[in-house]
Amino acid sequence: MNKIYTTTLALLAAMMFFAACANAGAKNDKKTDNAPKAVKELDAASFSEKVFDMDSEDLVFLGDKPAIVDFTARWCGPCQRIAPILEELAKEYEGQIVIYKVDVDKEKELAQAFNVSSIPAVLYIPLGGEPVMTVGARGKERFKEEIGTLLLQK
């Protein structure tokens, strides 16, 4: 009987230890989720202020730096895979380009206006040229190549 009691206490202590560790990790994850993001999420109103005035007949880019707009969704696996890459690139190219994201579930009309039917869809907007839409996930090196050729003309 004493052996069962000791084993039960040991199991209970181990379960409490692992539960405490798991909760501590969850608290730390919440802290990183609240960290300022380099990629800014836009709604229709802020998109019209910072990128293109959607009420205007002519789409004229409003930014003062080349931009990337990532059309994304929380449920999209490939979108979630490129999100940290875009965060890194926004920090690496700070001052040279701006990176935004648009949640297609929240901003359906905006996604429709740009004929977004597959995601991730990434819109590259150079300062003096035509915007280019790409579809599909890509790695960091490919993003850097596209930033160089489509936005920074390198």
- Cα–Cα nearest to 127, from 42, 60, 39, 70: 60
SS3 89: helix
Which residues contact residue 151 at a Cβ distance below 8 angstroms, ignoring those fewer than 6 apart? 66, 67, 68, 97, 124, 125, 126
Predicted pLDDT at 4: 60
Based on the residue annotation, tell me whether 76 is a catalytic residue of this protein: yes
Q: Which of 42, 68, 69, 79 is catalytic?
A: 79
Please say whether the dihedral angle defined by the alpha carbons of residues 82, 63, 105 and 114, taken in this order, is positive or negative. negative
**Per-residue pLDDT, 58:** 84
Quote the strand ranges of 6-151, DSSP E. Answer: 40-41, 67-72, 98-103, 121-125, 132-135
- Distance CA(68)–CA(97), nearest Å, equals 8
Q: Is 57 left (phi over 0), alpha (psi -120 to 50) or beta?
A: alpha
Looking at residue 2, its pLDDT comes to 59
User: What local confidence, expressed as pLDDT, does residue 79 receive?
Assistant: 96
**Is 21 an annotated catalytic residue?**
no
- Residue 43: phi, psi to the nearest 5? -100, 180
pLDDT reported for residue 56: 87
Mean pLDDT by 10 residues, the chain (154 residues): 53 45 40 69 93 88 95 96 96 96 96 94 93 95 96 86
Residue 43 is predicted with a pLDDT of 93
Global confidence as pTM: 0.76
* Amino acid, res. 107: E
Catalytic residue among 76, 97, 98, 119: 76
User: For residue 3, what pLDDT is reported?
Assistant: 60
Asked whether the beta carbons of 131 and 121 are under 8 A apart, the reply is: no
